[in-house]
């Protein structure tokens, strides 16, 4: 059976199927469709959806709901993520499992609300004070909007951290036909609440993740966005501060192999590797089909996880190639990461920042 649907609908379906029970958001193009759909769907599963008074309140509500036992989702666009920034830092410090959808649009500032872009890649990674790691996934099709939403909820539980789902205006709002049987449903782990008496945070081992101590579980729970010890008491003790901050880094970076996700289409003997993500990867796949039809040898790598950078997958795809083309709808954000990894290989950026999308022909021309 086939259906006509769009990325926003697939994200909502993925969230509901992942066990999401709370949503808060504020209307912002092009993410408002997710807000409206979650307000319709949450009551059907016994959940709660709120249109908050602004973006700051939205993510704050999600943090509170998560710490009370809910699985929470919020959705916004670039200007909203700007307002989320302080509470994103709180979620990192408080180790709050939370999924944040960023339906990207052209910036900076209010930019163009109905124009596609992929300009928030570096922003979601570095937009909160401290520079501590987050996880960011990026679907390139409606089917992936569903599966990666589920995966985002699972990773949020696994690592107790905010997980971003970076989509874009075109992928979110453009309807297409999909085979219903092709929806992949990666498992979403159950949350194991912390038993009474257990410290709310544990740094032993440094890359370990302790169960979530939640409000209303019959015992005292402390939560703070400040530097704290394992009992959640604020501290400035250098040894404790060092251990906390090393933990926030290690729990993600030491397990990057669990997080990285790519689709590799590698051709033996190819001299050129194309790399892209999100809606732009669809044009890349079409270009590869055309070029191979003309007997051109080219490989392609679609990045489905952006942070942590899937370095090992990129290094594997680089074997034997002499040139890499990185395509994206921004001034060049992922290309910087590829340049860092691809030492000795010619790296070319293919970018558009005029509000139009990169076409298969654009890929073909630069890959010649």
Q: Give CA–CA dist 225/91, Å, rounded.
A: 8
The reply to whether 216 falls in a domain is: no
The reply to whether 290 falls in a domain is: yes
What pLDDT score was predicted for residue 196?
A: 79
Domain end (from 134, 154, 182): 182
Tens of pLDDT, residue by residue over 44-98, are: 999 999 999 999 999 999 999 999 999 999 999 999 999 999 999 999 999 999 9
Same domain flag for 132 and 26: yes
What pLDDT score was predicted for residue 203?
A: 87
Burial of 63 (0-12, 13-18, 19+ CB in 10 A): buried
What is the CA 306 to chain-centroid distance, rounded?
7
The reply to whether 327 falls in a domain is: yes
What pLDDT score was predicted for residue 154?
A: 98
Domain end (from 128, 163, 182): 182
* Ranges under pLDDT 50 in the chain: none
Contact 52, 61 (CB under 8 A): yes
- How many residues does this entry show for the chain? 368
| Residues sharing a CB contact under 8 Å with residue 301, sequence separation 6 or more, in sequence order | 262, 263, 264, 265, 266, 273, 274, 275, 276, 313, 314, 317
The tally of CA atoms less than 13 A away on the side-chain side of residue 177 is 2
Contact 230, 189 (CB under 8 A): no
What pLDDT score was predicted for residue 47?
A: 98
Cα-Cα-Cα-Cα dihedral of 62, 107, 145, 298, to 10°? -150
What pLDDT score was predicted for residue 162?
A: 97
Same domain flag for 26 and 138: yes
Residue 180 tokens read as: 């219903």
What pLDDT score was predicted for residue 254?
A: 97
The reply to whether 223 falls in a domain is: no
Domain range for residue 41? 2-182
The domain total for the chain is 2
Domain end (from 148, 182, 216): 182
What pLDDT score was predicted for residue 54?
A: 97
Same domain flag for 153 and 292: no
The reply to whether 211 falls in a domain is: no
What pLDDT score was predicted for residue 216?
A: 77
What pLDDT score was predicted for residue 198?
A: 81
What pLDDT score was predicted for residue 267?
A: 94
The reply to whether 215 falls in a domain is: no
| Residues sharing a CB contact under 8 Å with residue 363, sequence separation 6 or more, in sequence order | 274, 283, 284, 287, 288, 325, 327, 350
Contact 64, 48 (CB under 8 A): no
């Amino acid at each position: 059976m086939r259906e006509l649907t769009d990325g926003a609908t697939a994200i909502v379906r993925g969230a509901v199927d992942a066990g999401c029970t709370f949503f808060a958001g504020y209307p912002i193009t092009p993410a408002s469709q997710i807000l409206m759909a979650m307000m319709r769907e949450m009551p059907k599963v016994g959940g709660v959806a709120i249109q908050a008074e602004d973006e700051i309140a939205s993510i704050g509500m999600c943090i509170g709901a998560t710490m009370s036992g809910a699985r929470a989702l919020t959705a916004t666009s670039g200007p909203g993520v700007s307002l989320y920034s302080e509470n994103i830092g709180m979620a990192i410090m408080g180790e709050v499992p939370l999924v944040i959808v960023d339906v990207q649009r052209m910036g900076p500032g209010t930019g163009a609300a109905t124009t596609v872009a992929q300009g928030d890649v570096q922003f979601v990674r570095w937009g909160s004070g401290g520079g501590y790691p987050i996880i960011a996934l990026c679907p390139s099709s409606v089917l992936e909007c569903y599966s990666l939403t589920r995966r985002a909820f699972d990773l949020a539980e696994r690592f107790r951290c905010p997980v971003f789902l970076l989509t874009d205006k075109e992928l979110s709002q453009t309807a297409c036909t999909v085979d219903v049987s092709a929806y992949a449903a990666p498992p979403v782990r159950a949350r194991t609440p912390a038993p009474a008496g257990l410290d709310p945070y544990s740094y032993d081992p440094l890359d370990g993740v302790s169960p979530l101590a939640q409000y209303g579980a019959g015992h005292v729970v402390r939560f703070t966005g400040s530097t704290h010890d394992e009992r959640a008491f604020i501290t400035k003790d250098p040894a404790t501060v060092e251990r906390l901050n090393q933990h926030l880094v290690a729990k993600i970076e030491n397990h990057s192999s669990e997080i990285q996700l790519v689709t590799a289409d590698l051709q033996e003997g190819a001299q050129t590797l194309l790399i892209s993500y999100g809606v732009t990867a669809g044009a890349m796949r079409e270009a590869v089909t055309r070029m191979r039809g003309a007997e051109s040898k080219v490989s392609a790598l679609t990045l489905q996880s952006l942070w942590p950078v899937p370095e090992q997958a990129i290094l594997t795809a680089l074997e034997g190639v002499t040139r890499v083309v990185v395509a994206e709808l921004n001034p060049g954000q992922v290309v910087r990461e590829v340049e860092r990894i691809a030492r000795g290989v010619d790296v070319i950026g293919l970018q558009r920042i005029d509000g139009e999308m990169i076409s298969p022909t654009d890929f073909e021309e630069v890959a010649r």
